[in-house]
Structure 1
Amino acid sequence: MAHQVPAVTPPRVVVVGSANVDEVFAVQAIPAPGETILSHGVMTARGGKGQNQAVAAARAGASTAFVGCLGSDDFGRLTLAGLTEDSIDTDAVRVIEAPTGRALIAVEPGGENTIIVEAGANADVRIRPEDRAVIADADVLLAQLEIPIDSVVEAAVSARDSGTLVIVNAAPMAALPAALLDATDVLVVNELEAQQLRGATGVTNLLDLVPVVVLTLGSKGAILQRREKAPVEVPAPIVDVVDATGAGDTFCGALAVALAEGMPDAEALRFSVTAASLSVQRAGAVPSIPTRAEIATELDRIAD
């Protein structure tokens, strides 16, 4: 099937965002305020919304570059080596005298999680002239909101001016400047983020802000709607959830590849939802992200 075959010339995706090292604690239940609980396992793995999305795009078949900032510590060296192992271009990654970003994550047996993020070096992400050249050379820019918002705006405006498709994942939720909305082609939000943006329960009034809205619905799938067109909705397959950490990022990275390859909307959504459904069946953020071959195999299984 066409959507399962990587493009002959891989699309070029550049991700501007955060890179963290996650410490993931397995717990019986998410602790309440003031409550102390014991973990029954811990793992250290690469994460951060920017890194997750870059890895997802690379594993889904894109030629991927990452623009971000790491610390000159062991976690930074671990992260840089991991990006290289995933064949991600790291020429635009700066290493500074600051701690690499970290996240403390508690995951309960049903896969739900709670996350605390320390920005560290991510707070120093800036868009330099050489970064603009990387963005201009890409088919798609993918950005999130775990780095300074001014840098997100600058990257998006630079991409728009270069004719690069701009996808913004409005997470973690923050006020979106008018300049960022004006430069955004595709806005990806979950249901809570949609409500926070415009008091929306769906995508219709978000289309006043941007041309295309993608609403992720967790275990229910996702909806894509363009202005003056009927919405496209794709359900998610029923799976056993191990850890939902990074599922939304996996969706975004796969979506960037699908849209860059010109997949029809329904096919692009199905590709992205399937990638996310595979990720929740494994622990961790980066370790859970599937490859193109795994996504293709799952799509074949679902179609049978």
Structure 2
Amino acid sequence: MIVVFGSINADLFFSFAKLPRRGETVLTDGYTFCPGGKGANQAAAAARDGAEVRFVGAVGRDPNAAPCLDALTAAGVDVRHVHAVDGVTGTAVISVEASGENQILVASGANMKASADWLAEELLGPDTTLLMQMELPQADTEAAIRRARACGCRIILNDAPLGPLSREALAEVDILIANEEEAMGLLGNSAGLENADLARGLAAFCRGTGIVTIGAAGVVVAHEGGTFQVPALPIVPVDTVGAGDAFCGTLTAALDRGESLIEAVRRATTASGIICTLPGAQSPELTGARINAALADLPSVVHI
């Protein structure tokens, strides 16, 4: 079973031919509402790849809460442990240009009221994989890590957006995932390091597995068995917003059902590529069957 302790956002998508420069105003015809939030995106991806997923988090008492929860339920996520709190549901404004590049502004809202105390005892145990990101309060993220470690859970942390966690908390994480910028921020003095070195640095921070996602170049993984790279799925991107979340959710689903690390990373990399060809970060078209069909198009693993 997977438990996601994470964020839920209402995403407002604005499409432009070119993203605005600093101080520039650009116009577009309209916008699209989509359910989002890193936690919710990852939970939806895991559930659509066949995992049993329970979500722990918060929404506000506003009109955006219901469609966000309905989307998770439609994806197959159990939302009985999501709490409604005073205030607004988290909201993100996402600007996407024709190339697929994006800019994201987030108002955290109810996510900042999520509590590690909501992780009920029956949710945590040796058969649970706890998946987290960095859109909840730092103290509660660290408390959740400590509780999960004490209960024998596998712990996967996507340090995105980059946030400060204590070295003690990071040391209890089994798999630490970050993109290049986030990995460099975590490691500090990392100028000139290759991606393989960044992955090894993340692995040294946690219990042995560091993963660096590198966009169109794929993913680099360092673990006790060595370091390898999985090249990206060859695609023409439409929207890259949900790429990292699809990777994390699908990786967690594959590991939770017993696939090897290499198999899980290949599957997650494939899912990450597929979601970039679809609008929105929780597209119902990202299914296990579609991932299976596209796996054959993924380039071979390269051992570094």
TM-score of the superposed pair, with normalisation by structure 1: 0.91
Match of 2:236 in 1: 240
* 1:93 corresponds to: 82
1:165-196: CA deviation from partner (whole Å, max 9, x where unpaired): 00000000011212321220100011111111
Q: Which has the higher contact order (CA 8 A, sep 6+)?
A: 1
Distance 1:69-1:138 versus aligned 2 partners, 3 A rule: farther
Q: Which residue of 2 aligns with 1:153?
A: 142
Unaligned runs of 5+ in 2: 300-304
Matches within 5 A, 1:215-294: 215-227=212-224, 229-287=225-283, 290-294=286-290
- Give a deviation string over 1:46-77, Cα, whole Å, max 9, x none: 00000001101101110000010001111101
Matched-pair contact (CA < 8 Å) for 1:136–1:158: no
**1:160 and 1:166 in contact (8 A); partners too:** yes
Identity level (%): 35
Offset at 1:101? 0.5
Report what 1:7 is aligned to: none
Instruction: Within 5 Å, give how 1:1-304 maps onto structure 2.
Output: 12-128=1-117, 130-136=119-125, 138-198=127-187, 199-200=189-190, 201=193, 202-210=198-206, 211-227=208-224, 229-287=225-283, 290-302=286-298
Offset, 1:206: 2.7
1:289 Cα deviation after fit: 6.2
Distance change in 2, residues 1:51/1:127 (3 Å): same
Deviation at 1:159, TM superposition (A): 1.2
The number of equivalent residue pairs is: 291
SS at structure 2 position matched to 1:242: coil
> Post-superposition shift, 1:41?
4.0
User: CA distance change for structure 1 residues 236 and 288 in 2, over 3 Å: closer, same or farther?
Assistant: farther
Cα RMSD over matched residues? Answer: 1.6
Kept after mapping to 1: 8 A contact 2:42/2:245? yes
Paired letter, 1:273: T
Contact 1:19-1:122 at 8 Å conserved across structures: yes
One-letter amino acid of the counterpart of residue 57, structure 1: A
Whole-angstrom distance in 1 between the partners of 2:180 and 2:270: 19
CA displacement at 1:35 relative to structure 2: 0.5
Cα distance in 1 for partners of 2:63, 2:261 equals: 41
Q: How does the TM-score come out when normalised to structure 2?
A: 0.91
Within 2, Cα distance between the matches of 1:145 and 1:37?
A: 30
Q: Distance in 1 between matches of 2:42 and 2:269?
A: 14
